[in-house]
Amino acid sequence: MKTTNSTITPISENPIQPQPRQTAKELIAANVKSLIEQLEAGHSDALTAYLDAMSRFHNYSFGNILEIARQRPDATRVAGMYAWNQLGRKVKKGERGIRILAPIVGVKRKKDEEAEKDIIKQNTRVLVGFRNAYVFDVSQTEGAELPSMREMSGEVGENRARLISFINKQNIELVFTENIAPALGMSYGGRIAILPGQSEAEEFSTLVHELAHEMLEHAKRRTTTTKMVRETEAESIAFVVGKAVGLNTGTASADYIHLYHGNASLLAESLEVIQQTSAVILAALQPSGNETMPDAELAQVA
């Protein structure tokens, strides 16, 4: 990164030495390699664990989701020690933290003469690097009771209306028609057709599946992937979103084991696509959800 006529100062008064950006890539590569080894050994449940982690920690970066799933696949709710203390809970003695990468954000300062001409933009927040950070699962803590997590027991609730609103605001036409039977749903590029008469949970899952196709339709990688890869990615996104809102989703598609054929890059790319697309949809399902694709945040770089 070119830094002529500027300096970068970490915001923290006592910054931890940033790790090279490559560290994040190495972290992802190591986790994907481990996942491939498990899949080759016939443990397709390993992929389900990773997708399950995406549903629980969709606000975390792709690399950190992989790290949490690898180190503690049964984790349900994670936070740093300080955050737990603020909630009236303390980490139990002897518990080992889950290592993740936290971004180090700095301030890029312009020269004095430039700052005088551009007072508003004299300081710019930039990503400097990464540092090790540790979070703990709720099961590793004790203390005050926490507010109960939302449990929907298979009921979609207001999420259906929010999902349809999100679809409409993407200028995607949504129709319900018997003409697509026996298919449950179809995507036509700007148009989604859904078979009426499905159960509430099944219809929601079908809507997410077809929406995923629409969201990935314009991606450059579409021309380099097979129909089977695209279908499984869409199904995996439906699994992650459904799991996140409390639906009984069963198990993830075990057929995913056949998609990568030993290609680590393809598997990593697919998992990242699933994570990012699921995060966008889940953000839209929040009461004040985003209605368009959000800009990438610095915290999502790791």
What angle do the packed helices 62-71 and 264-284 form, to 10 degrees? 100
Per-residue pLDDT at 91: 94
pLDDT at 22: 45
| pLDDT under 50: residue ranges of the chain | 1-22, 119-121, 148-153, 252-257, 289-302
At 258 the pLDDT is 53
- Read off the tokens for 68: 């949490």
3-state percent helix, strand, coil for the chain, nearest multiple of 5: 45, 20, 35
Alpha-carbon Rg of the chain, whole angstroms?
21
- Both tokens of residue 108? 């890029």
Domains of the chain: which residue ranges?
Answer: 6-143, 159-300
d(CA 244, CA 240): 6
pLDDT of residue 103: 80
Global pTM reads 0.66
Q: What is the pLDDT of residue 83?
A: 80
The pLDDT tens digits for 163-201 are 999 999 999 999 999 888 778 889 988 999 999 988 888
To which H or E segment does residue 126 belong? strand 123-137
Residue type, 34: S
173-176 and 191-194 beta bridge pairing: parallel
Please name the residue that has the structure tokens 């006592």: 14
Q: What is the pLDDT of residue 120?
A: 46
pLDDT attached to residue 250 = 62
